[in-house]
Amino acid sequence: MANTANRYLANFRAVFSVLVFLGVFSFAAVPSTARSDLLNLPDFPLFMEGNKTALVQLIVERDNKLFFEAYPSYEDINGDGVLDNRYKPLEIDYYGYFESTFCYTHNGSYFQATSLATNKKCLTDPASWSGDYLNFLTMTRMDIMLRALIGGRRVVDTATQTVLRRAFVPWENHTWGIEYESPSVDGYLISDYSPLATPASGKRHHLATNNYIGKSDVPYLRIRLNSSGRIWDWVDQERTQGDGSADLDITLDVEACRTGYLEETCSEYPNGGNKPTGILHEYGENNRMYFSLLTGSFENNLQGGVLRQSMRSFGDEEVDPVTGIFSSSGGIAKTLTALQIPNDYQLSTVQNDCGWISQRPMRNGECRAWGNPVAEMMYEGLRYLAGEQSPTPSFFTDSGMDQTIGLPTATWDNPYSSNQPYSQCSSAYQLVISDPSPSFDGDQLPGSAFSNFTETSLGSLDVGTLADFISGHEAELPGLKFIGESNGIADGSPSPKQVTTFRTIRGQSPEAPHRQGSYYAPSVAYYGSQNDMQPNVPGDQSVDNFTLALGSPLPTIDVEVGSDTITFAPFAKTVGSTGGCETSDYKPTNALVGFVVEDVTATSGSFRVSFEDMEQGADNDMDALGRYEYEVSGNDVTFEVTSLQA
């Protein structure tokens, strides 16, 4: 069985060594049968020639989609063509803050590794939990990213101890859970991986996770034993999710690098202590790479991004060389750790800060947990690498929610000035970490077809012209395509529209046809790769771009019909009682908030799908519920949608 931790570090190295051949990939889990040695990955990025230092600018999403579960039931994690809608310890290594080969007990405050697992099972201590099982139950996508990049989110960080904390998950429909009935139904014996006994006949255990308001800001694993209902009655209902009473409430903090139980990612420091580390430590503490960071903001959530860390040594600036403790003064680790869903959700009304927006699209500064303007963030990042001395005014913010949660802002120095500790000939790279569907990223760019944005600090950059150029190399682009908007025709739905060029389309489908995500990111990336960002500096300061896609949080249903594959994506709109009932009135595209796999065979499937009646924000709960069913017969497929609640 492949070691998961090493495998994940190998995956991040692959961003620099083989990602150009892969396009995009997800790093939430890996098949346990995968062998990283067969990939023959080098232990250094291929673009690093000899001892040449690389300058890596991280462009990181901060949208609410980072805080969904890492292991949803609708994904085929191990690529065998079967949905992995249950825990599969023999087939998949589940990555996260817990070590898959350790067993953990809870001391009342946090988990501690107390014994070694046997094939992930904890058979010698009836009070212990399998680390692999805890990862499956509790990790968000954000936790996976933090674990891989910096070793995890530290809430205790001293010379002698490190405690990691799972990300904040509000008690609306970011909450998730699983149910367990029996080995014959679920494929494993729950007592092998937890202190829980098999439920009584006809009953189920429900295991849900969130930051339940009735407890504290600490995340919890909440367990109801021997329940007569189904898990969706608890975590996919109207208003609050995973609420009320539970038989067990277990805090999701875990001690890392405990003496006698060192994970593969633990690194020893001169004081004799060990700290959980990530890929930034591996390449940054020895200054083989220098890093900067730019993320989206909360106050300007639909406009560009903010430079959080200028190009610096991760080791010299952010990590104590003796103890491994993170600096508290700012930087990449502090920023990534601070990113969260704004805690407006903790209000007793469970209402997001933007309320109910039903008669128009959201505006900048509203619904601050939403918004992922990737192309504009890339543009702002290029401006910094080009030596600009100040941020774009409409992008920058250092107040409001950004200030409240402690997001730093960096000084715009010149990364290629002669007084930097690295060569002016150092090559620069943008590494974009985001889910595949950007949003609201097409209007604040020079040359955009969707605005008259006139900022000209990058000189000849015209994203529209470059989009036309790129379109000319995509033979399959022209024609009817599923898209939210094309050539000014916009209905916010993934309907077929005539497409001629990337310049005039946005609203990527099927995930976000109403969120105005453009196709300008390739334009910005191409411009950076083909132009010297600082022609007055010796050498070539062009910028290559790599992308690490986190995988889409939107469930889609792929059905094999004869020799073809048909993809179904759940979609709904609120057509009455909000903005009016006329055809011309605005109709909110409903946010998909729940997806449960009821049954899947080789020729049929049944899924429960729930929707919030607004596009974003509001109470983000279940307002409409339907059952999607399909059945394949020969070269035909029938698909039926049944309303269960509206």
pLDDT single digits (tens) 370-418 = 999 999 999 999 999 999 999 999 999 999 999 999 999 999 999 999 9
Least confident of 104-108, 395-399, 556-560: 556-560
Work out the burial of residue 606: count CB atoms within 10 Å of its CB; fewer than 13 is exposed, 13-18 middle, 19 or more buried.
middle
Residue 176: other Cβ atoms inside 10 A: 25
Show the tokens assigned to 326: 């993170």
Of 139, 15, 33, give the one whose Cα is nearest residue 78: 33
Dihedral over Cα of 375, 380, 383, 385: its sign:
negative
Task: Give the Cα separation of 26 and 181 in Å (integer).
Answer: 30
pLDDT for the residue 32: 40
CA nearest neighbour of 623 among 632, 636, 615, 612: 612
Whether 214 contacts 162, CB under 8 Å: no
Share of the chain above pLDDT 70, in %: 88
Residue 218 has pLDDT above 80, yes or no: yes
pLDDT, mean over the chain: 87
Cβ–Cβ < 8 Å for 256, 164: yes
Q: What is the pLDDT of residue 306?
A: 98
* Greatest pairwise CA separation for the chain in angstroms: 76
- Cα gap 241→232, rounded to integer Å: 9
Q: What is the model's pTM?
A: 0.91
- 118 close to 82: Cβ distance less than 8 angstroms: no
Checking if the pLDDT of 577 tops 60, the result is no
Q: Is the pLDDT of residue 11 over 80?
A: no
pLDDT (0 to 100) of residue 23:
27
Task: Tell me which of 49-63, 571-585, 620-634 is least confident.
Answer: 571-585
Going by the DSSP 8-state scheme, the letter that residue 117 receives in this structure is -
Q: According to the model, what pLDDT value does residue 553 have?
A: 78
What is the predicted pLDDT for the residue at 9? 44
Q: What integer pLDDT is reported at residue 568 of this predicted model?
A: 83
Q: How far apart are CA 453 and CA 375, in angstroms?
A: 14
Tell me the C-alpha distance between 99 and 262, whole Å: 9
What are the tokens at 360? 């128009």
Q: Which helix (H) or strand (E) holds 17?
A: helix 4-17
> Which pair of tokens denotes residue 361?
């699209």
**Looking at residue 351, what is its pLDDT?**
53
Q: Distance between CA atoms of 224 and 194, rounded to whole angstroms?
A: 14
Length of the chain counted residue by residue: 646
**Which pLDDT does position 623 carry in this prediction?**
80
Return the C-alpha torsion angle 339, 340, 344, 349, nearest 10.
180
Q: Which two tokens stand for residue 603?
A: 């020729």
Note whether 305 and 373 are within 8 A (CB). Answer: yes
- Say if residue 37's pLDDT is above 70: no
What pLDDT is recorded for position 2? 38
SS3 content of the chain, % helix, strand, coil (to 5): 20, 30, 55
Residues 6+ apart with CB under 8 A from 213: 171, 240, 243, 346, 348
Q: How confident is the model over 542-565, as a mean pLDDT?
A: 86
| Higher-pLDDT residue of 542, 12 | 542
Question: For residue 530, how many other CB atoms are within 10 A of its CB?
Answer: 10
Contact 589, 514 (CB under 8 A): yes
How far apart CA 497 and CA 517 sit, in angstroms, is 16
**pLDDT tens, position by position, 322-374:** 999 999 888 999 999 999 987 655 444 445 567 777 778 889 988 888 999 99
* CA-to-CA separations, 364 to 297, 361, 369, 589, in angstroms, rounded: 11, 10, 11, 18
Burial class (CB in 10 A: 0-12, 13-18, 19+), 63: buried
Calculate mean pLDDT across residues 224-236. 91
| DSSP one-letter string for 248-306 | EEEE-EEEESBTTB--TTEEE-TTS-EEE--HHHHHHTTTSEEEEEEE--STTTTS--E
Between 285-294, 348-357, 408-417, 440-449, the lowest mean confidence (pLDDT) is in: 348-357
Angle at 445 between CA 550 and CA 491, to 5 degrees: 70
First-to-final CA distance of the chain:
47
Closest CA to 527 of 539, 543, 540, 505: 543
Confidence of residue 45 (pLDDT cuts 50, 70, 90): low
Lowest-confidence segment of 108-122, 163-177, 282-296, 620-634 by average pLDDT: 620-634
DSSP string of 56-116, one letter each residue: EEEEE--SGGGGSBSS-TT--TTSSSS---S--TTTEEEPSSS-TTEEEEE-SSSEEEEEE
